């Protein structure tokens, strides 16, 4: 399975794109929301939404042709609790999250994001301080953040950043350092592909605690420290 990369720092993808409100997206905007960042072709959410009708599901994806194809399938399947949107998460999500009704965001999943292996490309990775700050501000105590990847060098700094925020905890019953299974009832396409090859998947589930959102400058400092450590200790 070949990853199709899009440079999120290109001028086109840095354009702010206002996202529709929950009232514009869903017939019942009061349902708890599952936000899947990097929903790709959408097949995971297309299968999940009918299984979890008690939630609204929103897939955000930076590759516009994939969004158009996923949204066409959603309309054909007549799934009212599912939508797909084209946007750069780091540009368009923070402002949208700030306008969400308190307690509405129940689950955020970030599954197999583009790894951007080269050091000079790490700034293109999706989960950075600003986005985590916005997520922490929108998530109520008890809401969940689920991360999974088949690239250890990608998920380790993501986990380090979330833990450095001091606003999320891991369920006491979850094995460390990684969960052996997903908390979601269905695998993604990438998840099936990786496991069929006998390769590991690294998974972590976080729960939002009751602390106020962390200062953004503290998160930026933690990210800079992590990047410096990775540079000096690449192994």
Q: Which residues are catalytic?
A: 114
* Residue 95 region by backbone torsions, left for phi larger than 0, else alpha for psi between -120 and 50, else beta: alpha
State the Cα–Cα distance between residues 121 and 104, nearest whole angstrom.
Answer: 33
Pairing of strands 168-169, 202-208: antiparallel
Tokens read off for 98:
């700030």
Tokens read off for 130:
């600003």
* Partner residues linked to 203 by β-bridges: 148
Tokens 């997903």: give the residue.
182
């Amino acid at each position: 399975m070949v990853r199709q990369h899009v440079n999120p720092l290109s001028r086109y993808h840095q354009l702010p794109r206002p996202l529709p409100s929950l009232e514009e997206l869903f017939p019942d905007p009061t349902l708890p929301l599952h936000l899947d960042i990097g929903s790709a072709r959408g097949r995971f959410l297309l299968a999940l939404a009918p299984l979890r009708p008690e939630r609204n599901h929103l897939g955000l994806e930076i590759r516009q042709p994939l969004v158009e194809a996923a949204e066409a399938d959603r309309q054909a399947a007549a799934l009212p609790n599912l939508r797909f949107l084209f946007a750069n998460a780091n540009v368009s999500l923070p402002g949208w999250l700030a306008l969400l009704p308190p307690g509405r965001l129940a689950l955020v999943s970030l599954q197999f994001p583009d790894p951007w292996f080269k050091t000079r490309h790490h700034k293109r990775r999706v989960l950075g301080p600003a986005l985590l700050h916005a997520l922490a501000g929108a998530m109520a105590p008890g809401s969940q953040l689920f991360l999974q990847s088949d690239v250890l060098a990608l998920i380790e700094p993501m986990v380090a950043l979330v833990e450095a925020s001091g606003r999320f905890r891991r369920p006491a019953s979850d094995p460390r350092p990684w969960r052996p299974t997903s908390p979601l009832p269905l695998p993604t396409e990438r998840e099936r592909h990786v496991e069929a090859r006998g390769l590991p998947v690294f998974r972590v589930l976080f729960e939002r605690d009751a602390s106020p959102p962390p200062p953004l400058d503290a998160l930026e400092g933690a990210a800079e420290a992590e990047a410096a450590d990775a540079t000096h200790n690449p192994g």
